[in-house]
Structure 1
C-alpha cells in the first residue's frame, strides 16, 4: 500500500521523534538552562610529550563549559565538560545552539534527551566537539536525577564500593624538574593518594628511564606507579621501551601509541606483561568499542566529558565489564569518582587538583583511595571564583 505524504496518516505505536507529549508518567519539565564558559587559569604552564614534539603549545588554561538546568518543580542539576588549549568557545557556541531542544522536556528521560540533542546538531557529527558540548547537559541531568532521589550519583547507579583507588597526575608532567617531581610524589602520598602517574615521551628514552627509576627509588615498591606517553611513540619504540620497563612493575603504560591505532595497541597488549591503558582521547562509544573488541587494552580510560556525558560513559563501561577490563576514567574526578565506584571490576580514579577552585566542595583522599562523597547528585556547586572567571554566559528559557 502506498502512503501519500500529503495524507494525515496515523501509524500504530507512532511516537514523536523530537519529543513525547506529556502523559501520566511525566514527572516534570525543564524550565531554564544557564550556560557559562569559564576559563580556568593554571598556576604554571604544563608540558607533556605532545609539547616536546611540537604538536601542541604548553597548557596554560582549561576552558570549562557549565550547564545549570532548572525544572519547573524547582529541581536543579549542574554539569560540565571542558576543552584544553583550543575549542572551548566552539563547545559553548554549539551548546548554546542546541540547548533550546531541552525546554519543556521531562529531565528524567536522559537517554532520549541525549538522542534529541545529538540529532539537533547531527550535521557536525556524533563525536568530537558535538558530543563534548552535549556532555555538559547530560551530566547536569544525571546530577538532577540523583539529587531528586536524594542519593549520591554512585548510589543511584548502584555503588560497589564507597572508596576508589586513586592516583595523581598533575604533579608528574615532563615540564616538572626532577627535584620538584619527587616532592610532588611525597606530597601526594602524604595526602592519602595511592598511586603516581609520570609523563614520559622524551626524545631520549634514557631520560624517561632515569626519572622513573628516581621516582621508584624515592617511593619504594609499595606505591603504585603508572606512566603516560601521550601517544608519542611508534610501535617499535613502544615495544622496546615497554620491555625495558617491565622490571619497574608498572600498573599500566598509558597511550603508548596513537589513540586510533587499535591494531598496534592490541599487539602491545599481547606482547608485554605490563598492562596497556588508553581511551581518553576518544569521543564516542564506537571508538571505545573498537579498542575493547580488539583486546587492545587492559585498562579502558573513557572521559565522560569527551564521549558525550554519563549516558554514553555507561555504555562503554557495560561493554568493558563484559570483557572483564579494568577501568581508569580520565580527568574530571568530580564526575568519575561516582562512575568508578559503580563499576563491576577493578577501577581507579585520576586525581587532578586543577578543578578544585571551581567548586565550593572538595573530594577527600585517604589510605590510597578517593572517598565517594555522601552529598546528593555529583555533590558540587560552583564557587564565586568560578563565576569570576566566566568569559561568556547565556540563559535559555523564560528568563532569556
Structure 2
C-alpha cells in the first residue's frame, strides 16, 4: 500500500511505494565478511549504488581496522560530489560494513565494541500512524503495538486542515490513556506561524515531542519554537552530514536530535555527532533503520528512544526482541545481521571489487 504523510497531502511528494537498499560486503584476506547497508526512500537509490561502486576500490589492500582514515579516503575518492547527500549515504554502506567486520573480528556486538550504556532502549512505533490510515486503523495499530510491548506511539500530522490533526491526536490520547508516551511528526510541512499555533494547541496532550515542525534546515525557526513551547522539539532525520546537525545544535534548535546513520555517512560520523549532542545536553531518537540504531543508541549516556519500523525485517534472518516498552540490544558479533534468502535473490550486482 502506498504510504502518505503530510508531504503528500501538501502536494510536495508522491506517496511512497518503495525503499531502495544499498548493501555492501567487505571481505578480508582471511575470509571474514562485514555487512553494511544504506537506503533511500522514493529516489536516490541508483545514485548511491553508482557512487559506492566508483569509490569502493580504494579500500582494496587497506587495513580494515583504520575505519576513520578509510572514511576520509572514501570521501576524497569522490570529492567532486561533496561530503553530504548521496555521496555520504553511499559511503555509509561501506563504513557500516567495516564496523560490522571489526565487531566480528573482536567477537563483540557493535554496541559493546563502541561502549554500551544500556542493554535495552526505549522504543516507539511509527509505521501504524501514517496519514493514509483512517483514525480507526491508527487506534487499532496502537493497540497492537502496545500489546507487542512497544513503549510509545508516534502519528503523523501536518495536514492542510490543522483541526483534523488535533482530532487525530485527541483520539489517540484518549485511546492510550494519559500516561502512555505519544509523539507527533509534521514532516516539515508547517510554516513558522502555523507551527506556533499548532504547537500551543498540542500542549494539552502532553506529547513526548513534536517532530519536524518546520523545514529541516530552518535552524532559527526551530530555535524560536523550542524556546516558546513546553513540548520538546525533535528534528534531524533529513540532514545528511554532521555539519548540518551541528548548525541545529549550536542554535539550540532542538531538544531531541534525530540523526540517521545511513544518511550522515555511517557509524563513524554518527558517533562524532553523538559526542556533540551529549555535550549540548540533548536527548536522542535516531530515525528509521532500527536494526542498526538499536546498537548506536545504546551507547548514548541518556535514555534514548529508537523508532520501530518493521519494514526492513524481510531483508534479514534476525529479529529484534521487544519487551516492556524497550528493544533488547542484540548480542551477536558486529551488527548481528545476515541477509535473508529473499534479499539475496534481489541483489543487483555482486563481486564489484575482487582484486
| TM-score, length-scaled by structure 2 | 0.99
Deviation at 1:181, TM superposition (A): 0.7
Which of 371, 379, 390 matches 2:328?
A: 371
1:12-27 mapped onto 2 (5 Å cutoff) = none
The normalised TM-score by structure 1 is: 0.88
Q: Distance in 1 between matches of 2:352 and 2:172?
A: 50
CA-CA distance at 1:192 after TM superposition: 0.6
Is residue 330 of structure 1 aligned with residue 287 of structure 2? yes
Of the three residues 382, 390, 393, the one matched with 2:349 is: 393
SS at match of 1:77: strand
Query: Do structure 1's residue 67 and structure 2's residue 24 form an aligned pair?
Result: yes
Q: Report the CA distance between 1:384 and its aligned residue.
A: 0.7
Structure 1, unpaired ranges of 5+:
1-43
Give the corresponding residue for 1:208: 165
Instruction: Give the Å deviation of 1:75.
Output: 1.7
Question: Matched residue of 1:56: which SS?
Answer: coil
Q: CA deviation at 1:222?
A: 2.5
Q: Which residue of 1 aligns with 2:183?
A: 226
- Give the number of aligned pairs: 355
Q: How does 1:44-123 map to 2 (within 5 A)?
A: 44-123=1-80
Secondary structure of the residue aligned to 1:60 is coil
Higher helix share: 2
Query: Shift in Å at residue 389 of structure 1?
Result: 2.7
Query: For 2:302, which of 337, 342, 345 is the aligned residue?
Result: 345
Task: Give the Å deviation of 1:394.
Answer: 3.1
Deviations 1:318-338 (A, max 9, x none): 000001100000000011001
Identify the residue that residue 32 of structure 1 maps to in structure 2: none
Aligned pairs for 1:111-190 (under 5 A) are: 111-190=68-147
Counterpart in 2 of 1:37?
none
* Counterpart-to-counterpart distance in 2, 1:147 and 1:53: 46
Aligned mate of 1:241, from 195, 198, 213: 198
- SS of 2:330's partner is coil
- Pair 1:306-2:233 in alignment: no
SS at match of 2:39: strand
Distance in 2 between residues matched to 1:212 and 1:95, nearest whole Å:
42
Higher strand share: 1
Output the CA distance in 2 between the equivalents of 1:182 and 1:229.
19
Alignment RMSD: 0.8
Instruction: Tell me how far apart the structure 2 counterparts of residues 172 and 388 of structure 1 sit (CA, whole Å).
Output: 31
Post-superposition Cα deviations, 1:32-75, rounded to whole Å, max 9, x if no partner, equal xxxxxxxxxxxx11000001111111111100000011101222
Question: SS of the counterpart of 1:207?
Answer: helix
Where 1:274 maps in the other structure, the secondary structure is: coil
Structure 2's unaligned 5+ residue stretches are none
Name segments (4+ residues, structure 1) moved above 4 Å.
none
